[in-house]
Amino acid sequence: MNLVNVLAADPAETHHWLLPETAEIIYGGIASVLVIGALVKFALPQFKKALAARTERIQKELDSSSNDLAQAQADASKIRQALGDIASEKARLLADAKAQADALLADGRARLTAEISDMEAKADADVAAAAARGSDELRTEIGRLATVATDRVIASVLDDATQQSLVENFIAKVGASR
């Protein structure tokens, strides 16, 4: 090929339709080897480190979740045990409350019985006192009425001489008994 033909040739045309120019293959190959080498030397350790860190983080999360699961199961068993304790404590408290209520009821009944007995005794004493007062008042009234009636009967039955004689006999008896 001559120079004119080379200059006149289309620059977009290559020596083969599938392969690029030889210089491009050489420079492209060297550049690819350099980039791949740099990636292998610098990026691959970082990538391995990132994968190892990710694996470690995932393993740590798995271990943490396993520990959390074990803790949750332990807490659940404690709660179940406490629930059983709560049920027994509830039963015990109810039994204590029932015993206290029974004791309070018995004490209240005893106090009421004692108060009723005291009130009955007081009522009986009040009735006896009222009866005695009534009896005394009745005796006093009977005595007063008897005195009035006696005075009237004596005044109508006795004359002045008989009355004078009775008074003198009475004074004599009183004087003699001294």
Q: Is residue 14 part of a domain?
A: no
Euclidean distance between CA atoms 118 and 125, whole angstroms: 10
The pLDDT score that the predictor gives to residue 63 is: 93
pLDDT at 9 exceeding the cut of 70: no
**Number of domains forming the structure of the chain:** 1
Model pLDDT for residues 57-99, shown as the tens digit of each residue: 999 999 999 999 999 999 988 888 877 778 788 888 899 999 9
Task: Band the pLDDT of 8: cuts 50, 70, 90.
Answer: low
CB-CB contact of 25 with 19 (8 Å)? yes
CB-CB contact of 62 with 69 (8 Å)? no
Stretch 13-19: mean pLDDT: 72
% of the chain exceeding 70 in pLDDT:
90
pLDDT at 4 exceeding the cut of 70: no
| Residue 83 belongs to domain spanning | 24-156
Model pLDDT for residues 152-164, shown as the tens digit of each residue: 777 777 777 777 8
CB-CB contact of 163 with 154 (8 Å)? yes
Q: Is residue 86 part of a domain?
A: yes
Structure tokens of 4? 């004119």
Judge if pTM exceeds 0.85.
no
Euclidean distance between CA atoms 145 and 138, whole angstroms: 10
Q: Is residue 17 part of a domain?
A: no
Q: Is residue 123 part of a domain?
A: yes
Q: Is residue 171 part of a domain?
A: no
Q: Is residue 65 part of a domain?
A: yes
Stretch 41-53: mean pLDDT: 93
Task: Band the pLDDT of 12: cuts 50, 70, 90.
Answer: low
Q: Is residue 112 part of a domain?
A: yes
What's the sign of the alpha-carbon dihedral 109, 114, 118, 124? positive
Q: Is residue 87 part of a domain?
A: yes
Residue 127 to residues 72, 113, 135: CA-CA distances in angstroms? 79, 21, 12
CB-CB contact of 20 with 14 (8 Å)? yes
Task: Band the pLDDT of 28: cuts 50, 70, 90.
Answer: very high
Stretch 13-24: mean pLDDT: 77
